[in-house]
Chains A and B, each alone.
Chain A
Amino acid sequence: MSKLKLIIKREYLTRVRKKSFIIGTLLAPVGLLVYFLVIVGLTKYEGGSEVKVAILDEAGIVGAIPDDRGVRYIPAPDKTLDQLKTEVLDGQYDGVLLIPALATLKQKSLTVFYYSDDKLAPEKRQFIEKRISDKVRDFKIDSLRLDRASLENLETDVSIDPESIAKEGADESKYTIGVGLAIGGIMAFIMFFMVMMYGQMVMRSVMEEKTNRIVEVMMSSVRPFQLMLGKIIGAGAVGLTQVLAWIVLGGAVMFLMPFLVDIDPQAMQPPPGAAAAAIDPEMAQGEAFRMFQELGKQNWPLIVGSFLIFFLGGYFIYSSMFAAIGSAMGDDYGEGQALVLPVTIPIILAFYIVAFVGIRNPDSGLMVFASMFPLFSPIVMPFRMAFSPPVWQVVLSLVLVIGSSFFFVWMAGRIYRVGILLYGKKVTLKEIGKWLFYR
């Protein structure tokens, strides 16, 4: 076996066998599952016990109201307010709802009184307000002798459906952008996370070898470049393994979800009040269907394929810089921070560009530039991929990122071979620059 292969094998196996890796890889999807379960559980939570409310409908506006969402409406037309109040104190009701008469049909607001010594939960209060408001509306329609069917016809749902002119037939819907944002966002985040995590892993590993002096033994067997490259490739393969494991496990979790919990579409809706135009369950299913349809329309082989290339490119660029920095650092991580910062800033900047500019306009000038610039493109271009950017931009960006990754690895190798054998010296960036030109 060649030396490089041996190094890669060791770097890969020692990491993959680590408990922390196995736990992290398995736990992330389980964490996702728990998260979903908690969300579903929370939305299903009824918000406490049932509330019995006596309705004192002085002007006969509301009539009978069916029980709903933990509120029982009990009409009490024959009793006085004082009677009802004592009944509340006796525990027969939780409270009394006094609905005064409307002064005129043009009245735009109506104050309803709730008599009770117990506080009404905000959610229940919203439910009740919504119910009464609907009833008052019905009352007004009847009183004005309006045609209910005609009124309903007045309401129209408007949405913008983008249609491409050049690419006729490439049907885009309003879901395209939402789904694109989601896919692009997830890819950018994974990229950011992986480059940061695995880049720093390479750096720490280089520092460790230097401080525990194994490097001197290694250098007498292999070339510095071989050791550095083997480490970068080995750790990168670990990263890929983790991503693939997450894709498989995450897919399994998503697939199993419907069987583990029966997701009640109604429960997934935002609470009423916030959504006066509550979506009815059938509509919601329609939305989900459209969403899936949109996901299916994406060019997945292209997205996944280019994601992998950008991942490798970005990973090689940053991890080689991290390796170079690690070789220049001593065992004092704190002192080395000044060297780490110049490497982490571009990654964070790229992520911010996506988060603050990309989400508003994925095709803006800054985004186009950032998706070409090799230090940003591994994070920015995958985000843009979900919005079908011009092919030439993708190709150019790929060429630039591949070319630069070779350049950065070469450059890091020149720094590494000097730094790794240098002890007891605080190194500045300027000095590292000089090493590039050592023979």
Chain B
Amino acid sequence: MILSIQNVVKQYGKHTAVDHVSFDVPRGSVFGLSGPNGAGKTSLIRMITTITGPDEGAILLDGEPLNERTPEQIGYMPEERGLYKKMKVGEHLLYLAQLKGLSEKSANQEIKYWFDKFEINDWWEKKVEELSKGMQQKIQFITTVVHKPKLLILDEPFSGLDPINTTLIKDEIRQLNAAGTSIIFSTHRMEQVEEMCDHIVLINQGKNVLYGEVKAIKNAFKENLFRIETADDLPGDFDRHFQVASRPDGAVVVQLNEEASRSNELLRYLLQHNIHVSRFEEILPTFNEIFIRRVEETQN
């Protein structure tokens, strides 16, 4: 485990922002931290990044309780990006890298590496305010990763990015992850969770309402729906053998009962009746649906 959240509580005055939340982030994973706005995501992140401390419970990074060396091992990109507008890009990066514990020399080297990688070597002397928004986002990303953190926390990393930069940052995230960096990916955009994450925790009203491996959760929430696409007409007694859930434009969606072998039964039936199948797939619930379902369930 790279990160372990153990029964953490955070209160602001009378408001409980985080209410006995526990979860583990496996080493090397891309971990989705999601929940509606105001669920307590930022409060959690602020505790992990040691900006604030928990009122109860414990947080372990790499097996160690959070301490004064923790910030150097974490890279955090907040949802609301910010840089010193009047500073020169090179100086700005040097400053933040040194605050993350790098020596001036190694900070210079690291920044150079990223400048080469993004092909922005002529930006060093430019003031931040002279850059376009997309360019500033690149700089912001470099500030987050320049000190080679063990754990990267990205809060809505793609908000405000154009498709080109989104792809660029996505690729960088994947590369960093492949190189062993664990990543916490905070978002309420479920399609991004599905695309990027292997593990997830869903927070609502300060509570952990769903937690686990993305595949496992999808399986747990599946309704045994199968979609058949065919040009042929189905035999008349098909409805007596199988429960048809819906017929969206030409296709047939069938709801099977719990046993997994029932899908083979369905296939066998189609073969026996010489139905030409162009497509056969299990419909898994989207995370969006799971998200909304869980949020509604916990709200009641």
22 contacts between A and B (CB under 8 A): A3-B99, A10-B95, A14-B84, A14-B86, A209-B82, A212-B85, A213-B78, A213-B82, A214-B84, A216-B51, A216-B78, A217-B78, A217-B96, A217-B140, A220-B49, A220-B50, A221-B71, A221-B96, A221-B99, A222-B99, A421-B52, A434-B13
Q: Which residue of B lies closest to A431 (CB)?
A: B13
CA distance A222 to B50 in the complex (A): 9
Asked whether B82 lies within 8 Å of A216 as measured between CB atoms, the reply is yes
Q: Which residue of B lies closest to A219 (CB)?
A: B51
Q: Which residues of A contact B140 (CB under 8 A)?
A: 217
0 or 1 for each of B75-91: is its CB under 8 Å from A? (1 = yes): 01110111111110000
Q: For chain A residues 13-60, which have a beta carbon within 8 Å of chain B?
A: 14
0 or 1 for each of B24-64: is its CB under 8 Å from A? (1 = yes): 00000000000000000000001001111001000000000
The interface residues of chain B, by DSSP majority, are classed as loop
Q: Which residues of A contact B81 (CB under 8 A)?
A: 213
CA distance A395 to B143 in the complex (A): 49
Asked whether A215 lies within 8 Å of B82 as measured between CB atoms, the reply is yes
0 or 1 for each of A203-245: is its CB under 8 Å from B? (1 = yes): 0000001001111111111100000000000000000000000
A1 in contact (CB, < 8 A): yes
B98 in contact (CB, < 8 A): yes
CA distance A261 to B74 in the complex (A): 65
CA distance A221 to B87 in the complex (A): 18
B100 in contact (CB, < 8 A): yes
Asked whether A220 lies within 8 Å of B86 as measured between CB atoms, the reply is no
Q: How far is the CB of A123 from chain B (nearest CB, A)?
A: 54
A430 in contact (CB, < 8 A): no
Q: For chain B residues 76-130, which have a beta carbon within 8 Å of chain A?
A: 76-78, 80-87, 95-96, 98-100, 104
Asked whether B98 lies within 8 Å of A6 as measured between CB atoms, the reply is yes
A79 in contact (CB, < 8 A): no
Q: A6-B98, A212-B85, A214-B82 are in contact. List 20 more A-B contacts (CB 8 A).
A: A1-B104, A10-B95, A14-B86, A212-B82, A213-B81, A214-B83, A214-B84, A216-B51, A216-B76, A217-B140, A217-B143, A218-B99, A219-B51, A220-B50, A220-B71, A220-B74, A221-B96, A222-B71, A222-B99, A439-B55
Asked whether B83 lies within 8 Å of A220 as measured between CB atoms, the reply is no
- 4 closest A-B pairs by beta carbon, nearest first, are A213-B82, A214-B82, A213-B80, A216-B78
The interface residues of chain A, by DSSP majority, are classed as helix
Q: Which residue of B lies closest to A3 (CB)?
A: B99
- Contact residue among B13, B76, B95 (Cβ-Cβ distance under 8 Å from A220): B76
Asked whether A6 lies within 8 Å of B86 as measured between CB atoms, the reply is no
Q: Which residue of B lies closest to A221 (CB)?
A: B99
CA distance A217 to B82 in the complex (A): 7
- Contact residue among B50, B51, B95 (Cβ-Cβ distance under 8 Å from A6): B95
- Contact residue among B13, B46, B76, B86 (Cβ-Cβ distance under 8 Å from A217): B76
CA distance A7 to B86 in the complex (A): 16
CA distance A130 to B86 in the complex (A): 65
- Contact residue among A10, A421, A439 (Cβ-Cβ distance under 8 Å from B46): A421
Residues on A lying within 8 angstroms of B by beta carbon are 1, 3, 6-7, 10, 14, 209, 212-222, 421, 434, 439
State how many residues of chain B have any CB contact under 8 Å with chain A: 28
Q: Which residues of A contact B76 (CB under 8 A)?
A: 216-217, 220
CA distance A213 to B143 in the complex (A): 14
Q: Which residues of B contact A421 (CB under 8 A)?
A: 46, 51-52
Q: How far is the CB of A231 from chain B (nearest CB, A)?
A: 12
Q: Which residues of A contact B84 (CB under 8 A)?
A: 14, 212, 214
Q: Which residues of B contact A14 (CB under 8 A)?
A: 84, 86-87
Q: Which residues of B contact A1 (CB under 8 A)?
A: 98, 104
Q: Which residue of B lies closest to A7 (CB)?
A: B99
CA distance A3 to B76 in the complex (A): 18
Q: How far is the CB of A125 from chain B (nearest CB, A)?
A: 60
Asked whether A6 lies within 8 Å of B80 as measured between CB atoms, the reply is no
Asked whether B83 lies within 8 Å of A221 as measured between CB atoms, the reply is no
CA distance A212 to B78 in the complex (A): 12
CA distance A214 to B74 in the complex (A): 17
Q: Which residues of A contact B82 (CB under 8 A)?
A: 209, 212-217
Specify which of A6, A212, A217 lies most central, judged by the most chain B CB atoms within 10 Å of its CB. A217
Asked whether B99 lies within 8 Å of A6 as measured between CB atoms, the reply is yes
Q: Which residues of B contact A218 (CB under 8 A)?
A: 99
Q: Which residues of A contact B74 (CB under 8 A)?
A: 220
Asked whether B86 lies within 8 Å of A221 as measured between CB atoms, the reply is no
Q: Which residues of B contact A6 (CB under 8 A)?
A: 95, 98-99
CA distance A219 to B85 in the complex (A): 18
Q: Which residues of B contact A220 (CB under 8 A)?
A: 49-51, 71, 74, 76, 78
Q: Which residue of B lies closest to A18 (CB)?
A: B86
Q: Which residues of A contact B87 (CB under 8 A)?
A: 14
Q: Which residue of B lies closest to A211 (CB)?
A: B82
Q: Which residues of B contact A7 (CB under 8 A)?
A: 99
Q: Which residues of B contact A209 (CB under 8 A)?
A: 82
CA distance A7 to B76 in the complex (A): 19
CA distance A14 to B85 in the complex (A): 11
Q: Which residue of B lies closest to A224 (CB)?
A: B51
Q: Which residues of B contact A215 (CB under 8 A)?
A: 82
Q: Which residue of A lies closest to B45 (CB)?
A: A220
0 or 1 for each of B60-72: is its CB under 8 Å from A? (1 = yes): 0000000000010
Q: Which residues of A contact B95 (CB under 8 A)?
A: 6, 10
Q: Which residues of B contact A221 (CB under 8 A)?
A: 71, 96, 99-100
CA distance A311 to B55 in the complex (A): 40
CA distance A218 to B99 in the complex (A): 9
Q: For chain B residues 126-181, which have a beta carbon within 8 Å of chain A?
A: 140, 143
CA distance A219 to B76 in the complex (A): 10
CA distance A215 to B46 in the complex (A): 12
Specify which of B74, B80, B82, B86 lies most central, judged by the most chain A CB atoms within 10 Å of its CB. B82
Q: Which residue of A lies closest to B76 (CB)?
A: A220
Q: How far is the CB of B106 from chain A (nearest CB, A)?
A: 13
Q: Which residue of B lies closest to A423 (CB)?
A: B80
Q: Which residues of B contact A219 (CB under 8 A)?
A: 46, 49, 51
Q: How far is the CB of A218 from chain B (nearest CB, A)?
A: 8
